[in-house]
Chain A
Amino acid sequence: MQIPGVTGRRVLAQLLVLVASLAAMAAPARAQLRLDITEGVQDAVPVAVVPFGGQAEGGSTDVAAVVAGDLRLSGRFAPLDRQDMVTRPTSGGEIRFEDWRLLKSDYLVVGSVDGGGTAVAFELFNVQTGQQLLAERIPASGHDLRSVAHHISDLVFERLTGIPGAFSTRIAYVTVEGKAPARRHRLVVADADGFNPRTVAESGDPLMSPAWSPDGQSLAYVSFEGRSSAIFVQRLATGERRRVSARAGINGAPAFSPDGTRLALTLSRDGNLDIYVLELSTQALTRITTDDAIDTEAAWTPDGKTLYFTSDRAGSAQVYRVNLAEPAGVQRVTYTNGYNARPRLSPDGTALAMVTLDRGYRIGLMDLKTRNLRVLTTGSQDESPSFAPNGAVIIYASEDRGPGSLAMVSSDGRYQERLSSSRGDVREPAWSPYPTR
């Protein structure tokens, strides 16, 4: 007879506890002071990439150094100097978060390379909350450690920014060395951080305008070998190349359509420079522009239906666009500044990078929705902008300090970085698409 009463009381007590805890849970809704945050800073996010375990100092590829370099190059992160690291944990269990909070790092990357170099394990932590954000083990066999490191950078970057990393991509560019007649023109492909440069074409005559195929397997470029211009498409893996256009006059400014089946190019065969589209499989050529002025440097929209290009039909170079379905309806896009050329569409098609004359030839970015043109760089001879496939960074060539060199600017203009590893006179960089896996 007593038990039901006791049980009842216990149930009541439990109910009370439940009500109390519900009230406690509801508490956040009754916050006292309300703050409205409308601004933030444009700083790079402080991150610490601790030297990985299992790696001798000054030995093989320093994975942590590559990752830190990638993150720094992205402009979004500010890696902590190694000499400031008080401790060097190589796994999550060894981390004392207070240390890293004191060092003002928001995130922490720790990891180690397997004894045989067959795999690399790493973890990413939020220092402020102590939360583990990533923990992966990447097989390294068959890959060099550098590419494994780039992959780690990609994962970390994507986890922290929501944007896929572009550290495993490549850039193509042209270098010019020496003086005529011994001058050498080289077409070079390197890792996105400038490492591992590899010459894919070399000539005593100019090489120009490299353009990536959408699958990242081939490059189209202009070669003046034999004293006349021709457009080649070269497979990088095999070096095999095909001449796709060698018409009379100028053959220039090739650009692959997004599906890779067509090539937009500039030809002068009809008297002046105009934009054409070449069907690669059939060699069928379609003339797109017919103006008496120079029309060149075509760029495809992601849907493959529209071309943006440079034309001086209004007296100075400006950017226009044309819908391939109605070539007669050419529209002018740029009006500000006296010179706008070399348009390049962002991967998502919402913005247009170009060279604009604004107290110097600089890289500008136009928001295609608002038509607002923003100047991103501060040089006097910046040229040939090219978007990283994630759209976060634009690579360009600059002749500000003597011969051309490569530089990067984040597409929000926050961050600029010169690539130190580029050698000689470097021109016309082109950022690869994501590698197909």
Chain B
Amino acid sequence: MTGFAREHLRPLLGSAGLHLLLIAVIGGMALRWTGPQPPVQLAIEGVVVDARDLPKSVRSGRALEEPRLERAPEAPPAAPVADSKARARAAAEAAARAEAERERARELEARKEAAALERRKEEQAAAERKKQAADEARRQAEVEAERKKAAAVEAQRQKEAEARAAQDAKARAAREADLKRRLAAEEEEGAARSGVKDEYRALLVQAIERNWIRPPSARAGLTCTLYVNQAMGGTVVDVKLGPCNGDEAVRESIVNAVYRASPLPAPSDPRAFERRLEIVFRPTE
């Protein structure tokens, strides 16, 4: 590419220059031909816009002089062309001029629009900023309110937690006290119950001893076990002989002792009642 550019630079530049010269001349004539002129400053501006569209090489070269050349429309239009050739040329020039004029109008319109757009944008941005600021303020207020609320809630929570803790502690203390009291009561009742049980046992032993007609063969060293089932009222339901080293008379006598004692005495506290009894006969001499 660069090789190509360097090789053809001179002819290119030459051709471009010639073209520009031509355009400038034709343009100058056309401007003179068309009546009222737009404000010069605007034309100059238009040239500036054009220049920006030119290739760089052109801008740096003779192109900079072109605006000056375009001031030519101030010069009087070329003498009317009598012949058709001249008229065609003038028509073309006029068309070009009209085209340029339209172009410039569009340009202007676009610029106006752009400016309006810019202005709207700025207004919008300002509004935006204002709105943002307001939003920010509101947000901060909200945050602040939130913070305050949270703090209040936290404080409330804290207070409640404290209250609850206090309540819990009180309840726990009460519970512990209650438990202790119940334990003590249970202990007491347990003792009472074991007292009842001892008493019950004594009642049963007495009832059976009173009814045991001890045969002479029931001497010290005798050990006989009976398994007894009694009903709730103390009625002896059945008697089973367990291990026994006594003779038949002894066995009969101990079984009969239990039946004779039926109904067996009841405990003072019904909870001490035991359905099953294991009775060991172990007489002392």
Interface residue tally on B, bucketed by range: 35 or more
Chain A residue contacts of B228, Cβ below 8 A: 31
Q: Which residue of B lies closest to A34 (CB)?
A: B278
Chain B residue contacts of A28, Cβ below 8 A: 227, 240, 242, 276, 278
What is the CA–CA distance of A33 and B240 in the complex, to the nearest angstrom?
15
What is the CA–CA distance of A47 and B247 in the complex, to the nearest angstrom?
20
A133 CB to nearest B CB, Å: 8
Q: Does A412 contact B (CB under 8 A)?
A: yes
Q: Does A181 contact B (CB under 8 A)?
A: no
What is the CA–CA distance of A159 and B251 in the complex, to the nearest angstrom?
12
Given contacts A34-B277, A42-B213, list 16 more A-B pairs with CB under 8 A: A28-B240, A34-B278, A35-B278, A37-B279, A37-B282, A38-B209, A39-B214, A40-B214, A40-B257, A41-B210, A41-B211, A129-B259, A161-B249, A162-B247, A162-B250, A392-B216
Q: Which of B97-111 contact A (CB under 8 A)?
A: none
* Contacts between the two chains (Cβ within 8 Å), count: 115
B81 CB to nearest A CB, Å: 125
- With A33-B277, A162-B217, A162-B249 known as contacts, the answer to whether A41 contacts B212 (CB < 8 A) is yes
Q: Does A128 contact B280, Cβ atoms closer than 8 Å? A: no
Q: Does A33 contact B249, Cβ atoms closer than 8 Å? A: no
What is the CA–CA distance of A44 and B209 in the complex, to the nearest angstrom?
14
B235 CB to nearest A CB, Å: 12
Chain B residue contacts of A39, Cβ below 8 A: 209, 212, 214, 283-284
Q: Does A35 contact B208, Cβ atoms closer than 8 Å? A: yes
Q: Does A36 contact B282, Cβ atoms closer than 8 Å? A: yes
**Which of B218, B257, B278, B282 has a CB less than 8 Å from the CB of A31?**
B278
Q: Does B260 contact A (CB under 8 A)?
A: yes
Q: Which of A345-402 contact B (CB under 8 A)?
A: 392
Chain A residue contacts of B218, Cβ below 8 A: 40
A161 CB to nearest B CB, Å: 5
Residues of A whose CB lies within 8 Å of any CB of B are: 27-45, 76, 101, 104, 106, 126, 128-129, 159-163, 392, 412
B6 CB to nearest A CB, Å: 105
Chain B residue contacts of A163, Cβ below 8 A: 216-217, 249
Q: Does B210 contact A159, Cβ atoms closer than 8 Å? A: no
Q: Digitize B149-162: 1 where CB-to-A-CB distance is under 8 Å, 0 elsewhere.
A: 00000000000000
What is the CA–CA distance of A39 and B250 in the complex, to the nearest angstrom?
13
Q: Digitize B258-285: 1 where CB-to-A-CB distance is under 8 Å, 0 elsewhere.
A: 0110000000000000111111111110
B256 CB to nearest A CB, Å: 5
**Which of A32, A37, A392 has a CB less than 8 Å from the CB of B274?**
A32
Q: Does B7 contact A (CB under 8 A)?
A: no
Q: Does B74 contact A (CB under 8 A)?
A: no
Q: Does A32 contact B216, Cβ atoms closer than 8 Å? A: no
Q: Does B53 contact A (CB under 8 A)?
A: no
What is the CA–CA distance of A41 and B211 in the complex, to the nearest angstrom?
7
Chain B residue contacts of A36, Cβ below 8 A: 205, 280, 282
Q: Does B201 contact A (CB under 8 A)?
A: yes
